[in-house]
């Protein structure tokens, strides 16, 4: 009995990191998808909206730049790709993508905002 309980706890412990890793991965994929939507946006409002979705997925509800007035397509996936990332290198890459998304959100020129969105998507594709 003790042995089977011990094995159950060990198995559960192994699943937790995998679940956290899976949530970060799904958040990155979703963020990249919305960055792509932003890059294809036909007007500045659409580009900004999808970049907000991207940023919300990356930083999570407690992160810098999270906008509760905008959709969080990763709301049920985890705490945000950056907080859920396990390695320092992954966090650094995702923080750079978040900074690029913030640049696009602040941009008032459509073509430049679309480029920022495309650059954000490319950065996230590398992080997948």
- C-beta of residue 79 within 8 angstroms of C-beta of residue 60: yes
**Mean pLDDT to the nearest integer, 80-108:** 98
Identify the weakest region by mean pLDDT among 12-16, 40-44, 102-106.
Answer: 12-16
Note the pLDDT of residue 7. Answer: 37
Q: Give residue 23's pLDDT.
A: 86
Instruction: Quote the pLDDT of residue 6.
Output: 35
Contact of 79 with 61, CB cutoff 8 Å: yes
Give the pLDDT confidence of 51-91 residue by residue, as tens digits: 999 999 999 999 999 999 999 999 999 999 999 999 999 99
Picking from 61, 58, 63, 99, the residue whose alpha carbon sits closest to that of residue 82 is 58
Other Cβ atoms closer than 10 A to 76? 8
Distance CA 75, CA 50 (A): 15
Distance CA 20, CA 77 (A): 9
Rounded Cα distance, 72 and 53, in Å: 6
Query: pLDDT band at 92, cuts 50/70/90?
Result: very high
- Taking only the tens place, the pLDDT of each residue in 16-58 is 444 444 689 999 999 999 999 999 999 999 999 999 999 999 9
């Amino acid at each position: 009995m003790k042995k089977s309980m011990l094995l159950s706890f060990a198995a559960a412990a192994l699943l937790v990191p995998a679940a956290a890793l899976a949530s970060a991965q799904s958040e990155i994929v979703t963020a990249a998808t919305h960055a792509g939507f932003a890059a294809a946006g036909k007007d500045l409002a659409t580009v900004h909206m999808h970049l907000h979705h991207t940023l919300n997925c990356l930083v999570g509800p407690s992160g810098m730049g999270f906008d509760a007035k905008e959709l969080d397509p990763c709301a049920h996936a985890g705490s945000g790709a950056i907080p859920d990332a396990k390695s320092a290198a992954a966090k650094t890459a995702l923080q750079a993508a978040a900074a690029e998304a913030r640049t696009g959100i602040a941009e008032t020129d459509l073509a430049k905002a679309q480029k920022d969105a495309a650059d954000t998507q490319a950065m996230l594709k590398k992080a997948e």
